[in-house]
Amino acid sequence: MLSFECDYTEGAHEKILARLLETNLEQLPGYGSDHYCQQAKEKIRRACSCPEAEIFFLVGGTQTNDVVIDSLLRTYEGVVAAKTGHINAHESGAIEHSGHKVLVLPEHQGKIDAGELESMLVDFWDDESYEHMVFPGMVYISHPTEYGTLYSKEELKSLSEVCRKYHLPFYMDGARLGYGLMSSETDVTLSDIAKYCDVFYIGGTKVGALCGEAVVFTKQNMPAHFLTIVKQHGALLAKGRVLGVQFDTLFTDDLYFDISRHAIEMADYMKEGLRKKGVKFYLESPTNQQFVILENSAMKELQAKVEFSYWEKLDEDHTVVRFATSWATKKDNIDRLLELF
């Protein structure tokens, strides 16, 4: 059966598997101290134009959010995020398990607004009883968001300015970062992200790796004893090489960017095809996730032939569903999908 269910239905890019095979019997030290991890970090620093960046490799996205956020917050602080932010909606309370509240801002197609953020902060500090509340301790965004949307450079700059004014670390969840960077509609580069964010992660799991996320601290602000904090959260991989080799490969000869561009091309091709068929979009997504509106009866017919994600009920008769492309999407399959409309 055809599947556009998500961007992690295949294994890893073949070059990654080839490198894992080539390096397999090298005896290497554990916990990320091997030379592949070092190499990968150096390549990422260059890709970010951020020579002072401190980098740590983790296994998955929720884990990364939990570890980074818990390591940066004081016990009485919470993390500000959009209502639809992954940490608020789809991480089974991982942030709360580590003792922190998610302080919710309204979402605008998945994004938060710098003005609304500043209002929240002004209100907090103006409130006579702020000492009885959770202190805003950092700001979380996802880019692309859960709706596939992107912040503009100007929007990132504005958020960053508010964060600095209030001394809040600004953190970007880049689970699908490659797809954001290669969008034809973005003006944001990896260097911009390194400049505006205090910490972000470059997603591997959804962009060609078996698993793995690269956390980048851009301002020499990696918390002391971060490795121990990682271990305490059960997030330290014994064979760190598995992450090192993968990211080393992804950041050799621009592989990460090339495979991300492929996903965007496939998304654009699918979008154009669906539009021609008269399919209505729930919103304009410039990345690899496309949200379309289907009549319920049409949706049911389609489900017999292709896998996609249920997103939300629009009204009694219509449903929003998601089709995702990825580094591994085949053009033929999109043609087959389009034939079904």
Q: Residues 146 to 205: which contact a copy of itself by CB under 8 A?
A: 205
Q: Which residues, 281 to 300, sit near a copy of itself by CB under 8 A? A: none
Among 41, 43, 45, 101, binds a copy of itself (CB under 8 A): 101
Count the site residues for a copy of itself by CB under 8 A. Answer: 80
Contact between 340 and a copy of itself by CB under 8 A: the answer reads no
Among 37, 81, 102, 264, binds a copy of itself (CB under 8 A): 102
Reduced to 3 states, what is the DSSP secondary structure of residue 80? Answer: strand
Q: Which residues, 18 to 57, sit near a copy of itself by CB under 8 A? A: 20-21, 23-30
| C-alpha pair distances (Å), 293 with each of 230, 251, 335 | 41, 37, 19
Q: How far is the CB of 328 from a copy of itself (least distance, A)?
A: 7
Q: Which is nearer to a copy of itself, 132 or 304 (CB)?
A: 132
- Residue whose token pair is 């033929």: 332
Q: Which residues, 204 to 223, sit near a copy of itself by CB under 8 A? A: 205-206, 210-211
Q: What's the rounded Cα separation, in Å, for the pair 101 and 134?
A: 7
Q: What's the rounded Cα separation, in Å, for the pair 210 and 16?
A: 9
Structure tokens at 60: 């998955």
* 77-82 vs 280-281, strand pairing mode: unpaired
Q: Is 318 exposed, middle or buried (0-12, 13-18, 19+ CB in 10 A)?
A: middle
Contact between 125 and a copy of itself by CB under 8 A: the answer reads no
Q: Which residues, 127 to 146, sit near a copy of itself by CB under 8 A? A: 128-129, 131-135
Q: What's the rounded Cα separation, in Å, for the pair 96 and 222?
A: 22
Among 54, 70, 107, 198, binds a copy of itself (CB under 8 A): 70
The phi and psi torsions of 104 (rounded to 5 degrees) equal -95, 130
Among 228, 253, 275, 305, binds a copy of itself (CB under 8 A): 228
Q: Which is nearer to a copy of itself, 176 or 188 (CB)?
A: 176
DSSP state, residue 131: G
